[in-house]
């Protein structure tokens, strides 16, 4: 399991709350241990859907459930771990070489992703057998 632990990290983001609501923020190289090259988000995910199902060769990602919740299944070929993201001030840093699947989305889930790379189809390993060889 320690080998798997080295490939991801849960990061607590600052949170300030008062009678007007809550505010969280993310600063590059402060809360995110990489330079941010791309930001994307998913929403309106149909019940029962699974996303992800790949690993990256070089890309780092920080996933944040800014609304609702989801389950992230992490796999390093030797072991698997399930993590529930359900807090707008907690990010999951996924390092390169870690297979991840996203599932069990709540109806109101909005998932924000920060990436260290611009989109490059060649960085994705989408076949699990190929991933095991990587």
Handedness of CA 17, 67, 14, 119 (dihedral sign): negative
Q: Other CB atoms closer than 10 Å to residue 103's CB: what's the count?
A: 16
Active-site pick, 31, 54, 56, 93: 54
Check if 31 is active-site.
no
| Dist. CA 125–CA 55, nearest whole Å | 5
Q: Which two tokens stand for residue 40?
A: 């994307």
Query: Position of tokens 């030797």?
Result: 78
C-alpha 17/C-alpha 24 separation (Å) is 9
**Cα 77 versus chain centre, distance:** 18
Taking the C-alpha atoms of residue 10 and residue 27, their distance in angstroms, rounded to an integer, is 16
Q: What positions carry a catalytic annotation? A: 54
């Amino acid at each position: 399991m320690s080998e798997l632990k080295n490939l991801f990290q849960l990061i607590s983001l600052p949170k300030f709350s008062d009678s007007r609501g809550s505010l969280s923020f993310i600063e590059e190289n402060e809360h995110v241990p990489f330079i941010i090259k791309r930001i994307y988000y998913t929403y309106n995910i149909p019940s029962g859907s699974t996303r992800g199902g790949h690993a990256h060769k070089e890309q780092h990602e920080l996933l944040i459930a800014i609304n609702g919740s989801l389950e992230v299944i992490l796999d390093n070929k030797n072991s698997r771990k399930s993590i529930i993201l359900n807090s707008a001030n907690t990010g999951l840093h996924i390092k390169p070489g870690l297979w991840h699947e996203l599932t069990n989305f709540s109806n109101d889930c909005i998932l924000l992703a920060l990436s260290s790379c611009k989109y490059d189809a060649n960085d994705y390993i989408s076949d699990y057998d190929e991933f095991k060889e990587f």
